[in-house]
């Protein structure tokens, strides 16, 4: 029998770094995590990463082969192998993480941002199996997106394609973290719906338990719970969020005409509260020929380790492309 | 010496049908056109098309081989080979034109809409040679677009991807031919800039020679000539058009991150009058990482027979894909 083949999937977040060894069917054989300590320079981070990987590797059964490494990280560039000035990692400028990993482990290594990795996780192990054209949207602190066309993630000329969080909803709208106004993620994300609750609390006189919660204490979970109890402000916040998301999805469908749009992340946990208005407004806004052609789906990795599966999906996908070439 | 290989490129428009025999370098060896007579059923149209092709074919030098047929037509579906209810052809519902052509000529045949064909013409013979990621925009009566990602046109799941003319500029905006409000092509197209002139004539009191022209007499050429003479309404109309186009291009760059955006068609003839404001507003609106990454270019087929080269580019591209597979 041939040796067991695994890939190493690594997800680097501002708070934690998670990694795991994943086989071709998406089984995670071993998984670990440690604090990223985002304020450290990359030269302090890397030894911690290497130690953690080496320790986990030593515990794998004998004879396994690690075929490659996939990484998901903020502001990562697939073409250059770099992580470039992410606001939530104080690594110091542009870091060629692929080069550093390859120097140490001497196996194929690829990197992309977390949303693109999540899309590849979904393609190999989740809701998008057998799809050629779909869009994955992550609804967390911000809004990330990974766009798959003809069976591959769209990186574009720059390597940074698929930044739907910065589509403009309203040129005079809410200030976004990037300094511009009216970006989609200022409305549609956990942070966005929280801002929407504040706006609704300002505009209306309707009673709401959310009037007793400060903006910084407000979570997607709290808004969801209130909405499930019939709280009008919370329900209206989901309606507003779904309205804006649905309209922007309808615009995006004109560009790539996906078979499905898959929602993932904190806000997707609200299920029908967010899916129903999003689908309704998307269908209302869609240009005729596209009406009824797009499925809106829940991620199938939502309650598994999506980040590790995404990073692993990235490298499995890459190895397959290399074999095909 | 091997036989001379050609493809047949056919462009079917509401007014005229143009076709030509094109070699792999984009030389058009023979070209003809005839009136489409759009009010006829396809069963009346086809014999005219066949006769015209057969006649032209008979005049080709002996020994040439026709490798395949590429067609550009309104509402054409690449996957299904169909032309589906185009508003400007009274062919009667859904017509499988690829099947009908293959039955007669028994060679590989493909169809897509005119903007996708134009993109492939640009890819093989024009401004996008050697590009992997670009967008072609046609600015004629409407706004068409062909989006190339990883070296191939994006057809999407439905086969209709790349309909940027129906991106929404303003949900309460101008009525579009499709019955919705605020579509990009209601602002950015020859028809769109004409409507903008009417709006500006309504809003302002500035003197303008365009006050002496009826809306139906107004052409892109007239507006361009007025602008070149310094007419304030005409100049403002180009500024407004470029503003809206630039903003929507900036949104689209987030999705596919093209190396270039290529403008083609009637309004592109206005050159700097449209290019300058479009580029300026696109750059202003672009999300940081994309600033300065996208070229705005003039089509290189603008003054050649772009429609035939596009349709021919489509089939040359297809034959190459089949050889690679």
Residues A288 and A319 in one domain: no
Instruction: Measure CB to CB from residue B287 to each of A132, A150, A166 and give the nearest one.
Output: A166
Is residue A272 in a domain? yes
Nearest to A138 by CA among A155, A120, A169, A116: A116
Rg (CA), chain A: 20
User: What's the total number of domains in chain A?
Assistant: 2
Nearest CA in chain B to A168: B251
Inspect the interface and report whether the beta carbons of A163 and B247 lie closer than 8 Å: no
Contact list, A133 vs chain B (CB under 8 Å): 156-157, 161
In this predicted structure, what is the pLDDT of residue A291?
95
Residues B160 and B66 in one domain: no
Please tell me the distance in Å from A220's CA to the nearest CA on chain B. 26
> Judged by CB atoms within 8 Å, which residues 257-286 of A form the interface with B?
257-259, 285
Domain with A225 in it: 131-298
Q: Which residues pair with B153 in a beta bridge?
A: B148
Residues B66 and B205 in one domain: no
Residues A24 and A112 in one domain: yes
Distances A323 to A52, A314, A318, A319, B283 between C-alpha atoms, Å: 30, 14, 9, 6, 39
Is residue B325 in a domain? no
B283: left (phi over 0), alpha (psi -120 to 50) or beta: alpha
Instruction: Measure CB to CB from residue A161 to each of B163, B251, B257 and give the nearest one.
Output: B257
Nearest CA in chain B to A76: B289
Nearest CA in chain B to A84: B289
Give the residue from A172, A257, A321 with the most B CB atoms within 10 Å of its CB, the best one to mutate: A257
Inspect the interface and report whether the beta carbons of B152 and A155 lie closer than 8 Å: no
pLDDT in 10s for each residue of chain B, 325 residues: 457 999 999 999 989 999 999 999 999 999 999 999 988 899 999 999 999 999 999 999 888 999 999 999 999 999 999 999 888 888 878 999 999 999 999 999 999 999 999 999 999 999 999 999 999 999 999 999 999 999 999 999 999 999 999 999 999 999 998 889 999 999 999 999 999 999 999 999 999 999 999 999 999 999 999 999 999 999 999 999 999 999 999 999 999 999 999 999 999 999 999 999 999 999 999 999 999 999 999 999 987 789 999 999 999 999 999 888 7
Residues B97 and B157 in one domain: no
Residues A278 and A257 in one domain: yes
Q: What is the pLDDT of residues A190-225, one digit of tens each?
A: 999 999 999 999 999 999 999 999 999 999 999 999
What ipTM was predicted for this assembly?
0.94
In this predicted structure, what is the pLDDT of residue B60?
92
Handedness of CA B209, B214, B217, B221 (dihedral sign): positive
C-alpha B107/C-alpha A263 separation (Å) is: 44
Chain B CB within 8 Å of residue A154 CB: yes
Chain A CB within 8 Å of residue B85 CB: no
Nearest to B8 by CA among B26, B24, B21: B21
Residues B86 and B156 in one domain: no
Residue A40 token pair: 């450290």
Contact call for residues A150 and B152 (beta carbons, < 8 A): yes
Chain A CB within 8 Å of residue B113 CB: no
Contact call for residues A165 and A142 (beta carbons, < 8 A): yes
Distances B302 to A172, B113, B129, B137, B140 between C-alpha atoms, Å: 37, 18, 15, 12, 12
Contact list, A180 vs chain B (CB under 8 Å): 287
Contact call for residues B28 and B310 (beta carbons, < 8 A): no
Inspect the interface and report whether the beta carbons of B157 and A132 lie closer than 8 Å: yes
Residue-wise burial string across B167-194, b where 16 or more C-beta atoms lie within 10 A, e elsewhere:
bbbeeebbebebebebbbbbbbbbbbbb
Burial (Cβ within 10 Å: 0-12, 13-18, ≥19) of residue A32: middle
Is residue A126 in a domain? no
Chain A CB within 8 Å of residue B147 CB: yes
Nearest CA in chain B to A292: B158
Looking at B114, B142, B162, the residue that finishes a domain is B114
Is residue B139 in a domain? yes
Residues B173 and B276 in one domain: yes
Q: Which residues pair with B112 in a beta bridge?
A: B72
Residues A67 and A154 in one domain: no
Query: Helix, strand, or coil here: B20?
Result: strand
In this predicted structure, what is the pLDDT of residue B12?
95
Residues 6+ positions from A76 with CB-CB distance below 8 Å: A82, A83, A84, A97, A111, A112, A113
Chain B CB within 8 Å of residue A171 CB: yes
In this predicted structure, what is the pLDDT of residue B16?
93
Question: Angle formed by the axes of helices A190-203 and A232-256, to 10°?
Answer: 130
In this predicted structure, what is the pLDDT of residue B19?
97
Residue A169 token pair: 């909803």
Owner of token pair 């076709």: B19
Chain A CB within 8 Å of residue B181 CB: no
Inter-chain contacts counted by CB atoms under 8 A, chains A and B: 129
Number of CB atoms found within 10 A of residue B102's CB: 16
Chain B CB within 8 Å of residue A254 CB: yes
In this predicted structure, what is the pLDDT of residue A2?
58
Listed as ranges, residues in chain A with pLDDT below 50 are 1
Residues 6+ positions from A207 with CB-CB distance below 8 Å: A232
Looking at B90, B114, B138, the residue that finishes a domain is B114
Contact call for residues B273 and B227 (beta carbons, < 8 A): yes
Looking at every residue in chain A, the average pLDDT score rounds to: 95
Nearest CA in chain A to B159: A257
Is residue B323 in a domain? no
Burial (Cβ within 10 Å: 0-12, 13-18, ≥19) of residue B301: buried
Chain A CB within 8 Å of residue B36 CB: no
Nearest CA in chain A to B249: A167
Is residue A67 in a domain? yes
Backbone angles phi, psi at A184, to 5 degrees: -55, -40
Residues A159 and A114 in one domain: no
Looking at B114, B146, B179, the residue that finishes a domain is B114
């Amino acid at each position: 029998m041939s040796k067991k083949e695994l890939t190493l999937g690594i997800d680097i977040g501002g708070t934690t770094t998670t990694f795991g060894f994943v086989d071709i069917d998406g089984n995670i054989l071993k998984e670990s995590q440690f604090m990223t300590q985002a304020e450290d320079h990359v030269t302090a981070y890397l030894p911690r990463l290497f130690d953690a990987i080496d320790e986990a590797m030593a515990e794998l059964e004998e004879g396994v082969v690690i075929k490659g490494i996939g990484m998901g990280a903020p502001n990562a560039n697939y073409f250059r192998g770099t992580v470039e000035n992410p606001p939530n990692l104080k690594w110091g400028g542009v870091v060629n993480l692929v080069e550093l990993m390859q120097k140490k482990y001497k196996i194929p290594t690829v990197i992309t941002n977390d949303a693109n990795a999540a899309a590849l996780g979904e393609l190999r192990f989740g809701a998008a199996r057998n799809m050629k054209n779909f869009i994955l949207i992550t609804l967390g602190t911000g809004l990330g997106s990974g766009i798959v066309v003809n069976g591959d993630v769209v990186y574009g000329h720059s390597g940074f394609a698929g930044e739907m969080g910065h589509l403009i909803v309203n040129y005079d709208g809410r200030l976004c973290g990037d300094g511009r106004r009216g970006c989609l993620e200022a409305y549609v994300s956990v942070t966005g719906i929280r801002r929407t609750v504040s706006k609704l609390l300002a505009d209306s006189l309707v009673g709401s338990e959310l009037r007793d919660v400060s903006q910084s204490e407000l979570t997607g979970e709290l808004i969801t719970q209130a909405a499930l109890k019939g709280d009008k402000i919370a329900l209206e916040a989901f309606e507003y969020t779904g309205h804006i998301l649905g309209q922007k999805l309808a615009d995006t469908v004109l560009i790539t005409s996906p078979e499905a749009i898959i929602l993932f992340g904190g806000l997707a946990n609200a299920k029908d509260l967010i899916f129903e208005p999003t689908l309704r407004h998307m269908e209302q806004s869609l240009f005729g020929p596209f009406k009824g052609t797009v499925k809106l789906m829940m991620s199938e990795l939502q309650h598994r380790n999506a980040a590790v599966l995404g990073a692993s999906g990235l490298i499995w996908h890459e190895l397959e492309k290399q074999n095909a070439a």
